């Protein structure tokens, strides 16, 4: 699990994406990213040996709602 990137960003930085892909190619099977308070998407990366790794860049606020601005709230339906 990695706490990375700035808050309230919808797309992970390029350096974060490069680091995550590098870790998958080093043998890590699953990377769980968090920090932005927004869902940032997933990526499936195939290694040279044919195996796959999964990157969850940002999973939003599934366990808590820390937003001060109501427009960022994860509990608004």
pTM assigned to the model: 0.77
Q: How confident is the model at residue 6 (pLDDT cuts 50, 70, 90)?
A: confident
DSSP string, 49-69: TS-EEEEEEEE-SSS----SS
The mean per-residue pLDDT over the stretch 34-62 comes to 90
Indicate whether 35 pLDDT > 90.
no
Higher pLDDT, 62 or 49: 49
For the chain, the maximum distance between any two Cα atoms, rounded to a whole number of angstroms, is 46
The yes-or-no verdict on residue 30 having pLDDT over 90 is: yes
């Amino acid at each position: 699990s990695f706490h990375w990137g700035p808050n309230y960003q919808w797309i992970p930085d390029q350096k974060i994406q490069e680091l995550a892909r590098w870790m998958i190619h080093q043998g890590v099977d699953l990377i769980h990213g968090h920090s932005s308070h927004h869902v940032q998407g997933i990526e499936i990366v195939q290694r040279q040996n044919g195996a796959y790794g999964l990157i969850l860049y940002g999973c939003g606020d599934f366990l808590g709602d820390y937003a001060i601005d109501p427009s960022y709230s994860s509990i608004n339906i």
